[in-house]
């Protein structure tokens, strides 16, 4: 068990916080290609290496596809490896993401979330991470700079656990956390290195006298079993994530789980949300609680493996839930989080009202007023029998009325669906 670490107080951006965590972990190899807004991370790590502060082998490559290819090669050779990217960079890695997971390589990628083109935009949403949700990677999201730092330190003990051996994506919101400076509590270098430990792979390419094959062609008689083994590892990863979080809490005093429940104990209405916007939602909840409203926030931290049963139990006793997606799935019903949450509620026989919302695409503002209006809709749905559109966009410029407003005409029984949708 790691010792309790002394607290070191600093002011850092999210990118600086992750770079500091990388310096403390001191991975063996980092191939990387710059892309906004994650560029600062490889820039700072390469400076650490050049200055002799770490002995990480930094590999400048010609593209993100090459970065992940080099990361796969280094990890397969037995080196603790990581990289960083955003948006189109992650998309260019697409083929290699699947190879890293199927080869059961426990490398770490720090993803600074940015919208995928097009139209071209460099601001935050979750379309890059959500686009990679089915590649076999563990995905952990941060609300703020502190969580981005803490999540990275926990990544390797999760990925390298013998029951897991899967790659991990540590996600934070581009510009909102990556470039904003916040107070942060760092851990001592030695405490971090003791917590993370030394990587000692059982099988690797450069192990003399024990040749192994990595990434061979898999014939039909074996490929399906390999996929099932990946799924089994992803399920086991849930237990490991919680165990690593428990160990981390002993060292740091900061507790983590699959999600955070904020003022949900007696909440009639709960907003389920990921990333930096959870802070906005919490602020609005505090204001509404002062007005006597029973509302709360469930902030999802771990998206893969998806904690379906735990989410269902957390929402079981509320009257209605808003499921917030910072990504569109183009299925006509909801974003990806909405689809998975609703399916999980159904499978676990939790019968509550839900509404799916899409917000903050390409950096669109998400405010406490928006949160209030969402909770107003949930109240109107359950207490007044209002007909609420089940797949809504928050904050569209062309809205004639305040976004998500519950108007007398449109949100009362008898208002037409067209009238309701025109007011969103």
pLDDT at 399: 56
- ∠ CA(366), CA(277), CA(137), 5° rounding? 130
- Read off the tokens for 125: 């949403």
- Considering the domain architecture, whether residues 86 and 117 belong to the same structural domain is answered as yes
Beta strands 269-274 and 391-393, pairing class: unpaired
Q: Please tell me the predicted confidence (pLDDT) of residue 5.
A: 78
State the total domains in the chain.
2
Query: Does some domain include residue 183?
Result: yes
What region, left, alpha or beta, does residue 125 occupy, with left being phi > 0 and alpha being psi -120 to 50 degrees? Answer: beta
Q: Are residues 140 and 283 in the same domain?
A: no
Does any domain span residue 2? no
Cis before 37? omega within 30:
yes
- Give the separation between CA 125 and CA 130, rounded to whole angstroms: 10
Same domain, 418 and 362: yes
Domain range for residue 337? Answer: 259-422
Q: Give a yes or no: residue 212 inside a domain.
A: no
Is the domain of 138 the same as that of 156?
yes
Q: Judge if 243 and 268 occupy the same domain.
A: no
Domain end, chosen from 215, 233, 252, is at 252
- Residue 31 located in a structural domain: yes
Q: What is the number of H-type helices and E-type strands within the chain?
A: 14, 15
Q: Are residues 342 and 237 in the same domain?
A: no
Residues of the chain with pLDDT under 70: 1-3, 399-424
Q: Is residue 66 part of a domain?
A: yes
- The answer to whether residue 203 is domain-embedded is no
Question: pTM of the entire structure?
Answer: 0.93
208 domain-assigned = no
- Angstrom CA distances, 224 to 76, 214, 300, stand at 22, 17, 31
Report yes or no on 191 lying in a domain: yes
My answer on whether 182 and 48 are in the same domain is yes
Instruction: Give pLDDT, residue 383.
Output: 97
- Are residues 183 and 281 both part of a single domain? no
Domain check: are 232 and 289 in the same one?
no
Return the CATH number at 69.
3.40.50.970
**Which of these three, 207, 236, 252, is where a domain ends?**
252
Residues 190 and 237 in one domain: yes
Q: Does residue 125 sit in the same domain as residue 264?
A: no
CATH of the domain at 330: 3.40.50.920
Please tell me whether residues 268 and 390 are part of one structural domain.
yes
């Amino acid at each position: 068990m790691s010792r309790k670490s002394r607290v070191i107080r600093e002011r850092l951006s999210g990118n600086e916080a992750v770079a500091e965590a990388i310096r403390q972990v001191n991975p063996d190899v980092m191939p990387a290609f710059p892309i906004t807004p994650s560029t600062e991370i490889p820039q700072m790590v390469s400076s650490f290496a050049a200055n002799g502060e770490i002995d990480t082998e930094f590999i400048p490559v010609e593209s993100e596809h090459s970065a992940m290819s080099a990361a796969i090669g280094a990890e397969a050779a037995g080196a603790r490896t990581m990289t960083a990217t955003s948006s189109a960079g992650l998309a260019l890695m697409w083929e290699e993401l699947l190879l890293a997971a199927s080869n059961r390589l426990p490398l770490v990628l720090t993803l600074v979330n940015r919208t995928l083109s097009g139209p071209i935009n460099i601001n935050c949403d979750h379309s890059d991470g959500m686009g990679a949700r089915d590649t076999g990677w563990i995905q952990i999201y941060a609300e703020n700079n502190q969580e981005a730092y803490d999540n990275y330190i926990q990544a390797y003990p999760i990925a390298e656990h013998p029951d897991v051996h899967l790659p991990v994506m540590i996600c934070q919101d581009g510009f909102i956390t990556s470039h904003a400076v916040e107070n942060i509590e760092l851990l001592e270098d030695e405490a971090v290195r003791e917590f993370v430990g030394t990587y000692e792979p059982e099988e690797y390419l450069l192990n003399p006298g024990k040749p192994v094959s990595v990434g061979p062609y898999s014939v039909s008689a074996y490929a399906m079993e390999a996929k099932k083994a990946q799924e089994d590892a992803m399920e086991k990863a849930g237990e490991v994530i919680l165990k690593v979080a428990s160990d981390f809490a002993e060292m740091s005093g900061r507790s983590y789980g699959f999600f955070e429940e904020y003022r949900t104990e007696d909440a009639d209405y709960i907003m389920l949300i990921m990333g930096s916007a959870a802070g906005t939602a919490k602020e609005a909840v505090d204001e509404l609680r002062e007005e006597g409203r029973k509302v709360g926030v469930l902030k999802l931290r771990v998206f893969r493996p998806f904690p379906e049963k735990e989410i269902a139990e957390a929402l079981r006793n509320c009257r209605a839930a808003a499921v917030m997606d910072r990504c569109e799935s183009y299925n006509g019903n909801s974003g990806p989080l909405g689809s998975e949450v609703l399916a999980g509620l159904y499978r676990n026989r939790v019968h509550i009202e839900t509404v799916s919302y899409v917000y903050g695409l390409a950096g669109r503002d998400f405010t406490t007023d928006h949160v209030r209006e969402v909770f107003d809709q949930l109240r109107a749905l359950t207490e007044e029998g209002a007909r609420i559109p089940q797949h809504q966009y928050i904050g569209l410029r062309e809205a004639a009325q305040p976004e998500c407003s519950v108007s007398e005409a449109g949100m009362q029984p008898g208002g037409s669906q067209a009238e309701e949708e025109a007011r969103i």
